[in-house]
């Protein structure tokens, strides 16, 4: 497996470290040619407006859309926003996933929180029962999914925090900031499918 991590801004180094722990080859993606030969791509957390503006500046928008039509892409937090088709404000979006997101839905940085989630797809893929401990930092919620996008996980109050559409994944939270590698394992299985 050769997995790229979009390295324009945000916590790409943490994703690369987790992928290496799982034995994947990794590449930092900054230019369109960096996508060549990759099996999948992770778009990290950070600031979605900044990631979008830099992607426009580096002529990455169309190459990323083309990549996502065939291969696996996973966006965490800001990356999930960038994958969406609607963030309810004007900013560059890939529009690959049929999800509408609401940015900073839980408030400011101080309102960051952690929660245990039950994610059936993850349990099945990794043959484990333990809940998934998720870290939310100025996180978006996924307000709605449409088309062929499906809900992967929601908070107890019903707010959606993970979605999947074929080989595309969006999570409001940051699996790269914990020791639990199950979400990255799950993504590798999609990239390998």
CB 42, CB 74: distance < 8 Å: yes
Give the number of residues in contact with ligand GLN, rule: CB under 6 A.
11
Tokens 């407006």 sit on residue: 49
Separation in Å, CA 159 to CA 9, 79, 86, 151 = 27, 18, 17, 10
- Looking at 17-25, 46-54, 122-130, 162-170, which segment touches ligand GLN (CB under 6 A)? 46-54
CB 70, CB 36: distance < 8 Å: no
The tokens of 101 are what? 């997101």
Residue 103 in the binding site for ligand GLN (CB under 6 A):
yes
Which of 60, 122, 132, 138 binds ligand GLN (CB under 6 A)? It is: 138
77 is catalytic: yes
The tokens of 26 are what? 């990794």
- Residue-wise over 26-51: b if at least 16 C-beta within 10 A, else e? bbebbebebbeebbbbbbbbbbbbeb
Measured from the CB atom, the residue of 41 and 78 that comes closer to ligand GLN is: 78
Q: Which of 77, 120, 150, 184 is catalytic?
A: 77
The tokens of 60 are what? 């990455």
Measured from the CB atom, the residue of 137 and 141 that comes closer to ligand GLN is: 137
Measured from the CB atom, the residue of 52 and 126 that comes closer to ligand GLN is: 52
Residue 175 in the binding site for ligand GLN (CB under 6 A):
no
Least Cβ distance, residue 90 to ligand GLN (angstroms): 13
Residues engaged in binding ligand GLN (CB under 6 A): 45-48, 77-78, 81, 103-104, 137-138
């Amino acid at each position: 497996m050769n997995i790229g991590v979009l390295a324009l801004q945000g916590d790409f180094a943490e994703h690369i470290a987790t992928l290496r722990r799982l034995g994947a080859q990794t590449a930092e993606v900054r230019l369109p040619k960096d996508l060549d030969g990759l099996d999948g791509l992770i778009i990290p957390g950070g600031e979605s407006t900044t990631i979008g503006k830099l992607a426009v500046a580096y002529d990455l928008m169309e190459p990323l859309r083309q990549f996502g039509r065939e291969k696996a892409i996973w966006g965490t937090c800001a990356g999930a926003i960038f994958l969406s088709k609607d963030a309810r404000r004007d900013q560059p979006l890939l529009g690959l996933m049929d999800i509408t997101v609401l940015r900073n839905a839980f408030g400011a940085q101080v309102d960051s929180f952690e929660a245990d989630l039950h994610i059936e797809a993850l349990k099945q893929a990794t043959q484990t029962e333990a809940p998934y401990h998720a870290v939310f930092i100025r996180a978006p919620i996924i307000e709605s999914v449409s088309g062929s996008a499906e809900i992967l996980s929601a908070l107890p109050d019903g707010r959606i925090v993970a979605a999947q559409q074929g080989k595309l994944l969006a999570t409001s939270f940051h699996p790269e900031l914990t020791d639990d590698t199950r979400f990255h394992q799950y993504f590798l299985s999609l990239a390998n499918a």
